Amino acid sequence: MRALITRPREDCAALAAHLTAHGIVPVIEPLLTIRFAADGAGDLAPLLDGAQAVLFTSANGVRAFAAASDRRDLPAFAVGDASAAAARAAGFVAVESAHGNVADLAALVRRRLRPENGALVHAAAHAVAGDLGEALGASGFAVRRAVLYDAVPATEFNHATAALLGAGGIELALFFSPRTAASFVRLLHASGLSEACRTMTALALSPAVSAALASLPWRAVRVAAVPSAAALLDALDAAIAEGIAIAGTGQGR
């Protein structure tokens, strides 16, 4: 059995290892390439002046921040466990995870911080999912968005992946963001390979990711119980145990 990993290459190692441990061959096909801002250091430095905390909505945001600044003294609040782990690995000592999505991160910040204690710096990409600044601004927080990286969509599948898709050689596909899912849908339609999904099970991190995949004729779609990498792996394990990845028809959610 093969499983398509669509995450940026920097995020694939642990997932590929999990799949291999289950006897599944990982097919790594990054649909987004991460590019750090050319002058991230210059853009970030003034935004950190007087800030009380840093907000991370992705592990790539952590990596981009780490590349642009050696500041690790500020508390770090992360949207989920993967981002929190990346922050700890980057050297942040005070790290807390919201274990969810942008709304959960905003709620965590409201519980832990006070607007009068200083601005918040959001290490972000050019395109973001959810408006963290608006959500926290309504509660009186000043959020400084530092655009430190860009996630550039792929323009085509590599030849080996396209061949596997065309031959029905991929049984599972894992999706961690609506943008990645939308990129996959676009490329599949452009390649004339939409029918390949009839023999594939999609595993989506959240309902928003699942919605971005809805135009394709999947064998089944499974959504993680909560938007975390661990929950998506639980959905993967359940799909394998139930045989959904290799048998059955229709949409399962």
**pLDDT on residue 170:** 95
**pLDDT on residue 128:** 65
**pLDDT on residue 174:** 96
CB atoms within 10 A of CB 9: 13
Structure tokens at 69: 């600044």
**pLDDT on residue 245:** 54
> Which DSSP helix (H) or strand (E) runs through 208?
helix 207-212
**pLDDT on residue 253:** 37
Over its length of 253 residues, how does the chain's per-residue pLDDT go in tens digits? 899 999 888 888 888 998 999 889 999 999 988 999 999 999 999 999 999 999 999 999 999 999 999 999 999 999 988 899 999 999 999 999 998 889 999 999 999 999 999 999 999 998 766 689 899 999 999 999 999 999 899 999 999 999 999 999 999 999 998 889 999 999 999 999 999 999 999 999 989 999 999 999 999 999 999 888 888 888 888 887 877 654 433 333 3
**pLDDT on residue 27:** 96
**Dihedral sign from CA coordinates of 216, 162, 33, 95:** positive
Cβ distance 153 to 36 under 8 Å? no
Task: Please give the Cα distance from 206 to 253 (Å, whole number).
Answer: 11
pTM: 0.78
Could you give all domains of the chain from N- to C-terminal order, each with its CATH number? 2-31+154-241 (3.40.50.10090), 34-151 (3.40.50.10090)
